[in-house]
């Protein structure tokens, strides 16, 4: 796997490359704007040039994937919020394209006071419009639906939801799936033993198709199998455990797939010193690789 982590873009997206290099990332995940705000400053030619230069300076960090804002909810039954979400999602895809970044992952959404079927229909409507409206502006960006934990009214926690969404958009090759280990586990799909891992992936293959997985989020889970709670923790410290992650990093099918940590950034050690947990979690993952 091309292991990495979510890296801060504070000070400009180009700064994330330096941080990714320092954390020894083979690839990384970034936000191109604040993940908790709707609006962003438009990207300038200077921004693009700085990122191009940073990518040239750190060619080993490849690919760089983008995560969309957490505010976006194209499953919303509120038409005003839906439109606002749709426009923000389209902007995310076009921002990724402006920076020549190949992957954009977003959370499919929550149906709120609606129901799951209607919510899935709203997401499908967004996908079709997005594919049409970004066909020229962002043809090189693969738009990935993230598997969710199923917290609250979140959709996308059942493999069947993802299959229905891909189907609703005609299985466009511009779409993909981001497989988040914490979310999948919290949604009720076991990953811990070799048998459980094989069964979960076989089920994904049957329902969705393994070829649709374009990237991974590697997070351990603070809560138990099927808890439907979305709380990430350090690799090996949660309910998935090290063995679960060993299956992923040793599976030849994922050898070239980007896989990113979204775990807490720092912890204090016994002496009260701050430890860079991305470095620690990446080391834990790499130790699991069988030579």
Enumerate binding residues for Zn ion (CB under 5 A): 180, 217, 262
Q: How far apart are CA 16 and CA 28, in angstroms?
A: 9
Distance in Å, CB of 182 to Zn ion, minimum: 7
- Tell me how far, at minimum, the Cβ of 70 lies from Zn ion, in Å: 10
Return the number of the residue (26 or 262) whose C-beta is nearest Zn ion. 262
> What's the Cα-to-Cα distance from 272 to each of 15, 83, 267, 269, 275, rounded to whole Å?
28, 47, 9, 5, 9
Report H helices in the chain: 13-22, 45-57, 79-98, 116-133, 159-168, 181-186, 194-207, 241-249, 277-287
Give me the count of residues in the chain: 291
Supply φ then ψ for residue 217, to 5 degrees: -110, 120
**Minimum CB distance to Zn ion smaller for 74 or for 98:** 74
**Nearest residue by C-beta to Zn ion?**
217
Nearest C-alpha neighbor of 218 from the set 202, 240, 188, 190: 240
Cβ neighbours, 10 Å, residue 128: 14
Of the two residues 88 and 147, which places its CB atom closer to Zn ion in the complex? 147
User: Considering the complex, what minimum distance in angstroms separates the CB of residue 235 from Zn ion?
Assistant: 14
Report the residue number, 33 or 260, with the smaller CB distance to Zn ion. 260
Specify the residue, 74 or 145, whose C-beta has the smaller distance to Zn ion: 145
Minimum distance from residue 146 beta carbon to Zn ion (Å): 6
Tell me, rounded to whole angstroms, the distance of Cα 289 from its chain centroid: 22
The nearest distance, CB 180 to Zn ion, in angstroms, is 4
Output the smallest distance, CB 217 to Zn ion, in A.
3
Ramachandran angles phi, psi of 142, nearest 5°: -85, 125
Nearer to Zn ion, 130 or 144 (CB): 144
Min dist CB 219 to Zn ion, Å, is 6
> For residues 66 and 31, what is the distance between their CA atoms, to the nearest angstrom?
6
Residue 145: CB partners within 8 Å, gap ≥ 6?
Answer: 105, 106, 108, 156, 162, 165, 166, 175, 176, 177, 178
**Measured from the CB atom, is 180 or 278 closer to Zn ion?**
180
């Amino acid at each position: 796997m091309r292991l990495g982590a979510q890296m801060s873009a504070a000070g400009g997206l180009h700064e994330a490359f330096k941080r990714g290099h320092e954390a020894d990332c083979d690839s990384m995940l970034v936000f191109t704007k604040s993940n908790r705000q709707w609006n962003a400053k438009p990207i300038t030619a200077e921004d693009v040039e700085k990122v191009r230069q940073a990518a040239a300076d750190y060619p080993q960090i490849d690919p760089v994937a983008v995560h969309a804002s957490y505010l976006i909810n194209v499953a919303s039954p509120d038409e005003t919020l839906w439109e606002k979400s749709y426009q923000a999602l389209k902007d995310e895809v076009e921002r990724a394209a402006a920076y020549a970044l190949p992957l954009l992952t977003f959370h499919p959404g929550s149906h709120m006071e609606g129901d799951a079927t209607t919510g899935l229909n709203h997401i499908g409507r967004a996908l079709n419009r997005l594919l049409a409206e970004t066909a020229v502006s962002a043809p090189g960006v693969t738009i990935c639906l993230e598997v969710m934990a199923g917290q609250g009214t979140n959709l996308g926690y059942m493999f069947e939801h993802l299959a229905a969404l891909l189907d609703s958009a005609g299985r466009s090759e511009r779409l993909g799936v981001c497989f988040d280990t914490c979310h999948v586990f919290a949604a009720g799909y076991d990953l811990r033993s070799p048998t459980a891992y094989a069964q979960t992936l076989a089920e994904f293959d049957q329902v969705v198709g393994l070829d649709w997985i374009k990237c991974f989020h590697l997070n351990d889970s603070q809560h138990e199998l099927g808890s439907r709670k979305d709380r990430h923790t350090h690799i090996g410290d949660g309910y998935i455990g090290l063995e679960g992650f060993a299956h992923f990093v040793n599976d030849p099918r994922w050898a070239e797939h980007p896989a990113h940590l979204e775990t807490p950034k720092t912890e204090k050690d016994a002496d009260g010193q701050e430890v860079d947990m991305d470095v620690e979690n990446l080391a834990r993952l790499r130790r699991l690789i069988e030579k």
